[in-house]
Amino acid sequence: MLDIKITAALTKKEKPADNILGFGRYFTDHMFVMDYDLGEGWHDPRIIPYGPIALDPSAMVFHYAQELFEGLKAYRCEDGHIQLFRPDKNIERMNNTCRRMCVPEVPADDALQAIKALVDYEKDWVPHSEGTSLYIRPFIIATEPQLGVHPSKKYQFIIILSPVGSYYAGGLDPVKICIERKYVRCVKGGTGEAKVGGNYAASLLGQKEAEARGYAQVLWLDGIERKYIDEVGAMNVFFVIDKTVITPSLADGNILPGVTRRSCIELLKKWGYNVEERKISIDEVIEAHKNGKLTESFGTGTAAVISPVGEYNDNGNVMIINDGKIGPVSQKLYDNLTALQWGKIEDDMGWIVKVN
């Protein structure tokens, strides 16, 4: 059990209106910080005013990118209470990433206590309007001032909060995605399944080039054969082919084990859908589209929730999916997942954790 010291901000910010939130642009009045020193472990858990952090310019995070992050959300229910969706799964993934990045793990109970304490302290920041939530961004950075390449002896675990609306400007409108044939996001044995900033830094150029052509994001193919579908970067990806829901398997360690991805698979199986987690090649998708068997595609993620894909562009060859409209599987998942998250239906999956 952490003994969290609280220092209240002297002035409070004005809260933005729900209709201008967007994603990740506004931050609450406080943040959680905890330090780690080799030999001492994690210590000094505290909630302090949100603001810049002072780090030595030689702090290892700036040079060797030893850092990792998570993303989850807090939801305001109609009766006013605030709840989290499967925070245990984010904490488990965070600690898996810690092991991959040689970062000391944060005890799961302490991480959950820290998240709940900060969200509860900032509960007035959880927005009220439909489709809005408080995005929770825990992250760990290597802070040892040292230029030798080795795991840092000092870290900070920080949690910040951001009231958010939709990740994509168009909300639930289907997004357009380019199939990435030039760059790769990761290779087998790399950090593809870890939630580290480096994966996202490596994705920026592909995304920038796709955006210049009017596309929201890119679909990453495996880094070795350039053939199998990995993920979209900000979301995992699903295809409905011949009534079977197919998503790339986690077996190669290339893709992020998304909490929303896993929840969709569990819900679909519960509803009796045929779900396959397996290697799926881009050629299979193109063929299925040609034969009229590809009826839907959608992305899943904490930020993106369920995001239908209306179009894939493969070097100029355009595949329109379901007439560019949201399909029945995506709609059913969206409706049920969001109803669970906002407490509108009973949680028969045991996924909800109340904050207050």
DSSP 116-150: HHHHHHTGGGS--STT-EEEEEEEEEE--B--SSS
Q: Please tell me whether residue 302 binds ligand COI under the rule CB under 6 A.
A: yes
CB of 302 to ligand COI, least distance (A): 4
Residues 219-248 contacting ligand COI, CB under 6 A: 234
Min separation Cβ 45 and ligand COI, Å: 23
Q: What are the structure tokens assigned to 343, written together?
A: 């407490």
Please classify residue 55 by burial: count the beta carbons closer than 10 Å to its beta carbon, then call 0-12 exposed, 13-18 middle and 19+ buried: middle
Residue window 67-96: x/- pattern of binding to ligand COI, with contact defined by CB under 6 A:
----x-------------------------
CB of 183 to ligand COI, least distance (A): 17
Q: Checking DSSP bridges between strand 154-164 and strand 133-142, what pairing results, if any?
A: antiparallel
| Nearest approach, Cβ of residue 9 and ligand COI (Å) | 25
DSSP helix/strand/coil, 349: coil
Which bin fits 232, alpha (ψ -120 to 50), beta or left (φ > 0)? alpha
We find the least distance from the C-beta atom of residue 300 to ligand COI, in angstroms, to be 9
8 A C-beta contact, residue 34 and residue 15: no
Question: For the packed helices 108-121 and 87-100, what is the interaxial angle rounded to 10 degrees?
Answer: 130
Instruction: Give 50 or 200: the residue with its C-beta nearer to ligand COI.
Output: 200
| Residue of the chain from 159, 303, 306, 319 that contacts ligand COI (CB under 6 A) | 303
165 contacts ligand COI (rule: CB under 6 A): no
Least distance (Å) between residue 38 CB and ligand COI: 28
Tokens read off for 19: 């209709």
Q: Among residues 301, 308, 310, 343, which is the contact residue for ligand COI, using CB under 6 A?
A: 301
In eight-state DSSP terms, residue 221 is: B
Piece of the chain touching ligand COI by CB under 6 A; list 141-149, 177-185, 298-306, 346-354 = 298-306
Q: Cα–Cα distance between 21 and 69 in angstroms, integer?
A: 22
Residue 264 within binding range of ligand COI, rule CB under 6 A: no
- For residues 2-19, b (16+ Cβ closer than 10 Å) or e, as one string? bebeeeeeeeeeeeeeee
The pairing of beta strand 41-49 with beta strand 30-37: antiparallel
Closest to ligand COI by CB, 143 vs 162, is: 162
Q: Which is nearer to ligand COI, 138 or 174 (CB)?
A: 138
Range in contact with ligand COI (rule: CB under 6 A) among 37-45, 56-64, 295-303, 333-341: 295-303
Q: CA–CA separation, 64 vs 81, rounded Å?
A: 41
Size of the site for ligand COI (CB under 6 A): 6
140 contacts ligand COI (rule: CB under 6 A): no
For the chain, the residue count is 356
Q: Which residues bind ligand COI (CB under 6 A)?
A: 71, 200, 234, 301-303
